[in-house]
Structure 1
Amino acid sequence: MVTKISQLLILSSKNDLSATRLIKEGQKLTKVSHYLYNDLTRKSLPLPKIPSGKNVALLARQPYVANAIEHSADALLHMILSEFSFASVFDDKLYQQSFMRYEDKLYQSYVLQKLELPFAQLWNTTKPKAIVFPIIAKKRISSRHNANYVLHDRSELQTFMKDFDTAQYIFQTYFPLKADYRILICKGKLLGTVARDAWLEEGNKTIVKVAGATEVPSKIAQQAIKLSDYIGCDLCGIDVGETETGDFFFIEYNPSPQFLGFERETGRNIAEAVIKSLLT
């Protein structure tokens, strides 16, 4: 006998730009309750009263701000998943892990290597003479490219090493890109792909912005699905680069990604797809 889900519980941070879309689409299909992680954290001992049970589905958006990990609600979400039962949980497999692991770009590189997917070569900064420039320094726990820096030569690397804790970064070969892509996967299904404009700002920071709908080769799309399945991510934004010579490589993956720009450029109702995948 299939249990009918009569209520949807959505948890999000206050800066989650896509949460409003999920709430709106959810309300078209069922009763929706929405709580902010910060509000629940203030009431977390004892645990707050929230909707739960065999008729309630849980959609928990990312429980952290990657550029300010001191605001993480990861512990709170773990408490909720441990003490409350739900008919279904979006990203259930993913949240059995610590966000520090699945967000860490060092661990992501390990996953890409394990799955034998193409990615940019990693460099050891303790052996600077062996490095082939340019390279890109990526903060291991960060989002929206807010802590990525392109280093063009050994002098720039030495300056960077004086100013930053290099243990908090990975260093990879930097490729001038012919194209930059975001592939969106929901529960093993390809929702679409967008091209993104990428450029360098002052200070050699990298910036990206959604440009328009496009496609990637079928092989790359299938590899993206394989990656999403491996990490247990129900909604995953996978970033792929295409070099000027036409080679594709995986840049990173993003659990619980923002998708407003994706909806705008593709015309796809991502919020609806997410809600229906959870309720049906």
Structure 2
Amino acid sequence: MSYLKAITSPQNPTVKNILSLKEKSRERRKKGLFVLEGKKELQLALKGEYQLVTVLFCPELISLDEIQDIIQNTVPAPEIISISKEIYQKIAYRDTTEGIVALGKTKEHSLDTLQFENDNPLILVAEAPEKPGNIGALLRTADAADLDGVIIANARGDLYNPNIIRSSVGCLFTTKTALGTTTEVLDYLKQHQIAINCAALSASKSYTKVDLTQPTAIVVGTEATGLSNEWLQNATQNIIIPMHGQIDSMNVSVSAAILIFEARRQRGF
């Protein structure tokens, strides 16, 4: 395997395409492509069975042999393009991503695609998360706890925002993730007989007093407004993390992590 061409001009159409995909969700949806960078993200994308279309590398930072080792046996094989350091610095978010930028094909994330191998699933649901950094942190928590899936209800943007990919450290690629409206997600959970445990400030029971050993969804809302009434009214149980200071809530990713690992503790692992 060898690279087919080299790019040295910032005005090259491939460079412009990458910048457009990084900056515009409309372009990502239209073309079904996203941008990732760095060895770890590339390896996790391949592990998650994402199809890579193009891999661009800067020979001053990483060798062609290293690239070939990472993508060996990838079918279909992506196009490999050598780029100058100037181009790499133009299209990469960070100088620390080892000289690799790639284009991958997006996946379908409808609720119908979310299938559980475990007959006692533990999943995370986040309603309308606003900050890509929070979504990325939630996906990292999901990976750390080996959750069976993550569902985002009423998503405010697309999952392939580079900030989500970066803040998730590539966990987006290996975590089963689905999107839907609140009504659709509620119907899905009820259809699959998954208990709905909603983080809420009122009419709630302490999270340590709730049985989380059955098929369970931990549901969290935004820090500003919490969960919508539709969730609170359809909850199996509203749960709360008791606060002992002056504030009544924490960052959504921190709260989710506490609730998820309590469920893991109750399940014995």
TM-score range, shorter chain: under 0.3
Return the structure number with greater helix share: 2
Could you tell me the TM-score, scaled by structure 1's length? 0.26
Return the structure number with greater strand share: 1
Could you tell me the TM-score, scaled by structure 2's length? 0.27
